[in-house]
Amino acid sequence: VSDASGCSMIALLHTGAAKFPQNLLSRSRRAVFPLFPAGVLKGFSSIVSRKLASHGFGASMAAMSSFPPQRYHYFLVLDFEATCDKPQIHPQEIIEFPILKLNGRTMEIESTFHMYVQPVVHPQLTPFCTELTGIIQGMVDGQPSLQQVLERVDEWMAKEGLLDPSVKSIFVTCGDWDLKVMLPGQCQYLGLPVADYFKQWINLKKAYSFAMGSWPKNGLLDMNKGLNLQHIGRPHSGIDDCKNIANIMKTLAHRGFIFKQTSKPF
């Protein structure tokens, strides 16, 4: 066997182990591995790992083959925080706009978009809002408007290669409120267009219920409890909620769950 074909076979055995019949896999390993000294095999493995890393796949080959591939190249985890009070104020306005770019092959976070937003209709945050979200007045004063933030989201999407038609990505939210109610409602109020990429998403609550067979009434808290995960950060912090969503998705993916769009087309 030549070096080139041997290297190809080793890469196949590493990356395709999950799909390869076990009896054929063991025979192939016995046939190929004795031909190479241990140091050479280690070198080949290192080369393949570096090749994969250069294409954006940072996890080890063993980790990537440990769960089935997803339907999307990237998941865009999003969780808004908005102005609020008791009784509720109208219109509500987005004050925190976080997105985590999750690699669909490794389920690891690759990039983060995070901005606070200046509310214009009710520029003064209520004590209830600050207590709930942890966002104080100084965090939103002087920040960009929603229109400016949406422009920066689009720039970030372009920079991350997410606007390439060959790249499949989808937003993920904890519930339908963020992209079915909050964003389109505020955009309508302000006369702003809603980008097409915000018009389809995965509701993590529905995905969790499909995977686990129970509905998480208390959202992230119930999902973390059901999966024996520690809650990350502060509840109702947009960026912390995104991290919890990403952690839950990674756990479900490692259990073999395949995520699918749950929203209906607009």
- Catalytic residue among 14, 81, 93, 96, which? 81
Q: What is the pTM of this model?
A: 0.76
What is the DSSP secondary-structure string of 10-72? HHHHHHSTTTS-HHHHHHHHHHHGGGS-HHHHHHHHHHHHHHHHHTT--S-HHHHTTSPPPS-
Q: Where are the domains of the chain?
A: 74-255
CATH of the domain spanning 74-255: 3.30.420.10
236 is catalytic: yes
* Catalytic site residue from 14, 93, 96, 236: 236
The model's pLDDT over 203-251, given as tens digits with 9 standing for 90+, comes to: 999 999 999 999 999 999 999 999 999 999 999 999 999 999 999 999 9
- Kindly report which listed range (13-17, 66-70, 141-145, 161-165) carries the lowest average pLDDT score: 13-17
What is the widest separation between alpha-carbon atoms in the chain? 75
Q: Is 81 one of the annotated active-site residues of the chain?
A: yes
pLDDT of residue 266: 56
% of the chain exceeding 90 in pLDDT? 73
